Structures are given as C-alpha cells and as structure tokens.
Amino acid sequence: MTLTTAPSTASRPGGGARPSSRRRRRRYPRALLATSTLVTLIALIPLIFVAVYTVGVGWDEALRLLVRPRIGELLWNTTRLALACMALSAVIGTGAAWLVERSDLPGRRIWNVLLVVPLAIPAFVNSFGWVSVTAAVEGYGGALLIVTMSYFPLVYLPVSAALRGLDPALEETANALGNGRWRTFTRVVLPQLRPAMLGGALLVGLHLLAEFGALQMLRFPTFTTAIYDQYRSTFNGPAANMLAGVLVLCCLLLLLGELRLRGQARYARLGAGSPRPAARARLGIVTVPVLLALAALITLALGVPLGSLAHWLITGSSTAFPVDTLLTTTATSVGLAAAAALVTSLLALPVAWLCVRHPGRASTLLERGTYFGNALPGIVVALALVTISIRYTETLYQTVPLLVIGYAILFLPRAMVSLRAAIAQVPPVLDDVAHALGATRTGTLWRVTLPLIARGLGAGAALVFLAAVTELTATLLLSPTGTETLATEFWANSSNIEYGAAAPYAALMVLISAPATYLLTREARNSR
C-alpha cells in the first residue's frame, strides 16, 4: 500500500497524552457499538450453538459418543496430519522465501509468482488432480504431500514479506561481529522471522482442521470428514455435533496461539520498506540443485494437478461439455461469492471501524469475537445454521440469505484483516482537516475515507470472494434446493469417480480464483 504509507502518516508519535487520542477514547458511538455487537453475535452463532448443544446432550451421552476407538483414530489422524503439514510448510515456505528474497537464485521474479499460484488451486482440486492419476496418494503419506503442496504458500507469503521488511543492517552487524552467513541466518534472521513463520504455520493448521474435500477424496479420515460422514448417516444428529465440539476445541487452541502471536508480531512488520536491499547470498555450485528442487516443488504443487486437470479436460470420458449446466453453475457460484463478498465486507466495516477508531476493552472484545470464523470449519457453521434455522427461523431455512450468512460467518476474519489495516492507515486527523476545509460528514466519507480504504475493502472482498467460490461443505448443507455451485457439481461428479465430468468445474474454479489470488498476493506483498 504505497499510497497510504506516505511519510506524513508513517510515524505518529506514540504520545498517549495527545488530546486527539484522548478524544477517541471517550464513549463509544452508540449506533456503531450496537451494529458491531450484532455482527459479532452473528459471528458467534455457531460457537454458542455447539456449546449449548453439548451441554444439552448431557454427560453420559457425550461420553458414549466421545470415548470410543473411532474418536481416538480421528484425533491421531488429525493431529499427525496437522503437525506434520505445519512443520513441512514452515520449512518449505521459509526456505523458498529465503531463496527468492536473499539469494542470487536465477529467475526470482518468476519463482516468486509460481510459489504463490498454488493458492489459486483449491486443495480439493489439487487432491482430485492427484487421485485421478494414481490411487497411491490415498492415505497418510499422500494426504500430507497434497495438503502441504496446497498450503505452504500460506507460510511463504508472510515470511517473504518479513524478509523484505528486515533491516539488512542487522545482518551486516552480525557479520561484522564475526558470524558467518549460516550463523547469521540462524541467530539473527530466523528469530526475526519467527512470528511470520509461526503465524503462517498456524494458519496452515487452521485450514487443515477445516479441510474436507481434499482429505475425503484421499480417504484419510479426520474430524471434518467424520462429521460429514455422520451428517450423511444422521443429518444433524448428536454424534455429528459432538465431533464438531471436539473439532472446535482443536481450532480454538490454534486460534489462541495465533492471537498471541499477532500481539508479538509487531516488530517484525514495523520495518516496512527498508531503504536499501540486502546483499544476496551467492548460491554458487548449489544453484543447479536448488533450481531442480524448486522445479520439483512446483511440479508437485502445480504441474501434477494442472496437468491432470488438462488431461481430463481433453480426454474427458463423459461426452460433450454440458455447456448449459456449466454456465448456470458458474453464474450461481460467482453470484453467491459476490454476494458473500459484499455482505461480509459490509458486516466487517462497523467492527473494523470501531476497533481502530475507538480502541477500548469493548471494541477489542467485539473484534476478537469475529475472529472465531477462522477456527470454524464450514461443516460446523453449516450444521449450526441448519439446526437453528429449522427450529427458529423457518423462513430462512434453505435460502440464499442463510447460505450467505454462513459464508459471512466463515469469512468475516478475512475481510476484517484487510479492513482494519486499511482503516488504521487513515489517521483521524484527516477527518479533522477535511471538516476544517468545509467538507461535511458524508463529503469526508466520499472524498477522503472511502478512497483511502477502497483498496483494503477491495482486497478483503476479494479474499472473501475467493474463499466462497471454492467453498464446499457449507454450500452442500445450506444451499437451497436446486442451487448447484461449481464446487458442489465438481464434488458430485468426482464423488461418483466421473473425473472427466468433474474437470471442467475444477478448471472454472481455478480460472475464477486466479484474479482474486493475484490481487490478494499483491496486497499481501505491499501491505507489510
């Protein structure tokens, strides 16, 4: 965001005694507080539901459902997959980031793009690409490989941003103190990358806990797939909801870690825009092996899924393209995702505004409340909304609005992150200046505030759009009768092992995701 980090706003003195900040600490504007509270309550619906439900099931029944071999198996599967994938992603993401940012690797610009592109391929499409070629990827090993290939960019992105923001003077000082390059990396660089690395890894963990499609296809049962199996056998029965309770607990654990990190992450991000680029390490004779390793990585992450997708598109066993269905499902997907992006951004706006412009205990609490979406797998949110809407809000049951609310709960944190950052970069003094120059409240909103947060708003909306286009589980459970999206059609076809028929939907999802992914990565790159 080069626009908004003009030197004039970059360094505000921290003087808490400044009357302008004192003014902001006064009472919360009532309407804003009420709206934000409402938004947070909506975001908390699934969590409250799971808690209330668990209490309602009762101790004995809960024990019967939770203490059995299957749960142990699921716990073991989920844990070993999540931990291994987080570790692998951290190593691959950090290594690749260092190579691109700090070494004389040939073709760095291209690698930089290629290492982010996997984000545009939903994990279940990646999984489809592999499993339709070989059944060997079924089970733990294959699952680990495929989810790692899908999620390592989540570490790569923040770490490379952190590397770019790192003051090279620190490394030079370490060198001057007699540390070699490796020791400098481990003693100076790595500790500073830790927040970015751990933050990325935790994000990988959260994604993994919520992952359904990819793992279901690879026949690797985790909590999320087991909940779906239970759902298929019992609709919203107690077993499914108890499993959801356990899953939510796991997710909350990771979320807590992530929130704690977020507090410490500051120093790593403050050094935005270091004035001069760091000297690059010479790879020398290892250049070729390193290039080969990166090529192998990209082949695994992009080559195989895209190649297999192309193969099925060309040889598709299932006759001609069903153009009509493709068009209508694309329209439905794009429309739903756009509606989700719009609604989610609108919901995020008051909360983000409140927590940036009126910091305080209440606003922090409300803001944290919206983050739980990060820890809630789509299936948990969907189960809660299905049950609640059947019991209490029949008019919403099986409607587009309910589905969009589900998306909003799931993706609110994505919109929040971008919006918060954007609003934080609009100092309130700009409002004062505009008012002094005669601009009215609305005038200020249109001429100053909105233009300044437009990019953040757009980036947040793009993130939500991207997530909603490829969302599967909540869509399966919540969509109105007759509403088919690219993801659900793809899922229906690939579940029937009709790979050729599934391929066009997968390709369309990748195509639609691509621009949003581009926007997202550009934003992630510039915002730190």
Partner 1 sequence: MAVAAGLVAVALSAAACGDAGSGSGSGSDKPTLTLYNAQHDFVEDMAKDFTAKTGIKVEVRSGDDFELANQIVQEGSASPADVFVTENSPAMSLVDSKGGFARVDDTTLAQIPDSFEPSNKNWVGFAARSTVLAYNSTALKPADLPASLLDLAQPKWKGKIGFAPAGADFQAIVSAVVATSGEAAAEQWLKGLNTNGKKYQGNTAVMKAVNAGEIQAGVIYHYYWYKDRAESGANSKNVELRYFGNADPGAFVSISGAGVVKASKHQEEAQQLVAYLTGKDGQKILADSGAMEYAIADGATNNPALKPIADLDPPAVDPAKLNGPRVVELMQRAGLL
Partner 2 sequence: MTALTVRGVTKSFGSVPVLEGIDLDVPAESFTAVLGPSGCGKTTLLRLIAGFDDPDGGTISFGGETVYGDGRAVPAQRRRVGYVPQEGALFPHLDVAANITFGLPRRARASRDRVAELLELVGLDAAVAGRHPHQLSGGQQQRVALARALAPRPSIVLLDEPFSSLDAGLREGTRRAVAQALRAARATAVLVTHDQGEALSLADQVAVMRAGRLVQLDAPATLYRSPRDAAVARFVGEAVLLPATISGGVASCALGDVAAREPAPDGPAEILVRPEQILLGATGVRARVTDVSYFGHDAAVRLDLLPGGPAVTARVHGHDLPAPGTEVRLTVTGDAPSFPVTTGAVPVTTSAEVPAAR
Closer CB to partner 1, residue 291 or residue 396? 396
Give me the 449-488 binding string for partner 2, x by CB under 8 A, dash otherwise.
--xx------------------------------------
Which of partner 2, partner 1, none lies near 341, with the C-beta cut-off 5 to 8 A by kind? partner 1
Q: State how far the Cα of 493 lies from the Cα of 30, in Å rounded to an integer.
A: 50
Give me the 11-30 binding string for partner 2, x by CB under 8 A, dash otherwise.
xxx-x-xxxx-xx--x----
Closest CA to 35 of 444, 359, 338, 370: 370
Q: For the chain, first and last CA: distance in Å? A: 8
Closer CB to partner 2, residue 24 or residue 311? 24
Which of partner 1, partner 2, none lies near 234, with the C-beta cut-off 5 to 8 A by kind? partner 1
Closer CB to partner 1, residue 198 or residue 467? 467
Determine if 4 is a binding residue for partner 2 (CB under 8 A).
yes
Determine if 319 is a binding residue for partner 2 (CB under 8 A).
no
Which of partner 1, partner 2, none lies near 398, with the C-beta cut-off 5 to 8 A by kind? partner 1
Q: State how far the Cα of 112 lies from the Cα of 159, in Å rounded to an integer.
A: 12
Closer CB to partner 2, residue 22 or residue 70? 22
Q: Read off the amino acid at residue 256.
A: L
- Please list, in sequence order, all residues whose beta carbon lies within 8 angstroms of the beta carbon of residue 266, skipping any fewer than 6 positions away: none
3-class SS of residue 376: coil
* Min separation Cβ 446 and partner 2, Å: 12
Q: Cβ–Cβ contacts within 10 Å for residue 19, how many?
A: 8
Q: Could you give the residue ranges of the DSSP H alpha helices within 392-481?
A: 400-424, 429-436, 441-444, 450-469, 473-478
CB 123 within 8 A of CB 509: no
Chain residues in the site for partner 1 (CB under 8 A): 65, 68-70, 73, 135, 216-217, 219, 221, 226, 229-237, 239, 317, 331-332, 334-336, 338-339, 341-342, 387, 390, 394, 397-400, 451, 454, 457-458, 461-462, 465, 480-483, 492, 495-497, 519
Task: Measure Cα distances from 501 to 91, 320, 321, 443, 488 in Å.
Answer: 37, 9, 8, 52, 13
Q: Cβ–Cβ contacts within 10 Å for residue 295, how many?
A: 13
Written as six digits, the tokens of 449 are: 């505030």
Which of partner 1, partner 2, none lies near 435, with the C-beta cut-off 5 to 8 A by kind? partner 2
DSSP state of 27: P
Closer CB to partner 2, residue 246 or residue 426? 426
* Min separation Cβ 339 and partner 2, Å: 28
Angle between the 499-526 and 486-495 helix axes, to the nearest 10 degrees?
A: 140
Which of partner 1, partner 2, none lies near 394, with the C-beta cut-off 5 to 8 A by kind? partner 1
Closer CB to partner 1, residue 184 or residue 425? 425
Which of partner 1, partner 2, none lies near 319, with the C-beta cut-off 5 to 8 A by kind? none
CB 347 within 8 A of CB 366: no
* Min separation Cβ 450 and partner 2, Å: 10
Which of partner 2, partner 1, none lies near 30, with the C-beta cut-off 5 to 8 A by kind? none
Closer CB to partner 2, residue 202 or residue 426? 426
DSSP for 143-176, please give it: HHHHHHHHHTHHHHHHHHHHHHHS-HHHHHHHHH
Residues in the chain, total:
528
Specify burial of residue 142 (Cβ count, 10 A radius: 0-12, 13-18, 19+): buried
Closer CB to partner 1, residue 209 or residue 226? 226
Closer CB to partner 1, residue 90 or residue 336? 336
* Min separation Cβ 15 and partner 2, Å: 7
Segment 414 to 453, residues that bind partner 2, using CB under 8 A: 427, 429-430, 432-440, 443, 447-448, 451-452
- Please list, in sequence order, all residues whose beta carbon lies within 8 angstroms of the beta carbon of residue 450, skipping any fewer than 6 positions away: 457
Closer CB to partner 2, residue 176 or residue 270? 270
- Residues binding partner 2: number (CB under 8 A): 36
* Min separation Cβ 504 and partner 2, Å: 42
3-class SS of residue 225: helix
Q: Which residues bind partner 2 (CB under 8 A)?
A: 2-9, 11-13, 15, 17-20, 22-23, 26, 427, 429-430, 432-440, 443, 447-448, 451-452
